[in-house]
Amino acid sequence: MRGKLRLIGISAVVLWAVPAVAQVSVGADVALNSAYNWRGVSLTNKPVIQPDAYLSVAGFTAGVWANFEPAKYDGATDISEGGGARSGIAEIDYWVEYGRTTGIVSWTAGWVAYTYNKNNAGLDNTYNTREVYDSASLDNLPFTPSLGVWYDIDNVKGLYIEPSVTYPIAVAPTVSLDVTLLAAVSAGQEVNTSKPNEGANFANGGLAHADLGVTTSFSAGPFSIAPVFHLQWCNDDFVKVTSIGHTSSVKVWGGVTFSWALDLGGGGSE
């Protein structure tokens, strides 16, 4: 449980560093995506609605996220996180994190709980699990290199590592495209034949997939709209599955996220 201990240590430093007047903000967003690809794995290969809401205080942020399947995905080749027998919420995730910027380094440490409907015919509540994670990026450069690391502390008990680099491309005076290239690496989240009772997110260790993502955003006051497009090259056998009975080395998917945020200002003295 070294990941959990590390998070506790970071929290102790953070408590010491909280300013006397805490900044408070709230936000919400909803993503409309053509499919639900989690770490490259197709959990739903039909359109999904994914809302999220959060509260931030002095660098700490807590939120809740959900995956909603708006229809019954019960076709012969449909992949459905909820099993396809009915529409509705198939997954709810709860998360809390702390982030700050030190010099040109922005970093975040957090915890996330993945929960599934106990009545799901696909992923039911026996798949519930938790992870701790750290991520860091270098700012104020022509491009932004980042590294994220997640450690599953329950069902899978392994690392997922995601290095990436983002490069902005100006296409108009007020419009730019963010092009992100990332690699997904399993270092313990793959099938472990010596421990059959442990879960697995990937078939094999090492490179699971690579992803080329392109996004932009348009703002109007506290609201923003961010379309995104993904071209994914698949290496892992779990990641290659695109529908029931079909696999491919390439996946294409996309969507658009509508966001709202409000800064409530100082939260008073600590």
Global pTM? 0.87
The lowest-confidence range among 15-19, 37-41, 182-186, 194-198 is 15-19
Query: With b meaning 16 or more CB within 10 Å and e meaning fewer, what string describes 117-151?
Result: beebebbeeebebbbbbbbbbeeeeeebebebbbb
The lowest-confidence range among 17-31, 67-81, 168-182, 250-264 is 17-31
- In the predicted structure, residue 13 carries a pLDDT above the cut 50: no
* Domains of the chain by residue range: 2-269
Rounded Cα distance between 133 and 267, Å, is 27
The predicted pLDDT at position 173 comes to: 82
Contacts 24+ apart (CB under 8 A), 263-267: 263/23, 263/24, 263/25, 264/24, 264/25, 264/26, 265/23, 265/24, 266/21, 266/22, 266/23, 266/24, 267/21, 267/22, 267/23, 267/24, 267/57, 267/58
Topology (CATH level 3) of domain 2-269? Porin (2.40.160)
- Give the chain's mean pLDDT: 89
Averaged pLDDT, 166-173: 91
Rounded Cα distance between 188 and 48, Å, is 29
Q: How many percent of the chain have pLDDT more than 70?
A: 91
Q: Please check whether residue 266 is in contact with residue 22, taking contact to mean a CB–CB distance below 8 angstroms.
A: yes
- In the predicted structure, residue 15 carries a pLDDT above the cut 60: no
- pLDDT tens, residue by residue, 230-268: 999 999 999 999 999 999 999 999 999 999 999 988 754
Averaged pLDDT, 51-64: 97
The predicted pLDDT at position 21 comes to: 57
Question: Where residue 192 falls among pLDDT bands split at 50, 70, 90?
Answer: confident
Residue pointed to by tokens 């599934």:
116
Question: Where residue 38 falls among pLDDT bands split at 50, 70, 90?
Answer: very high
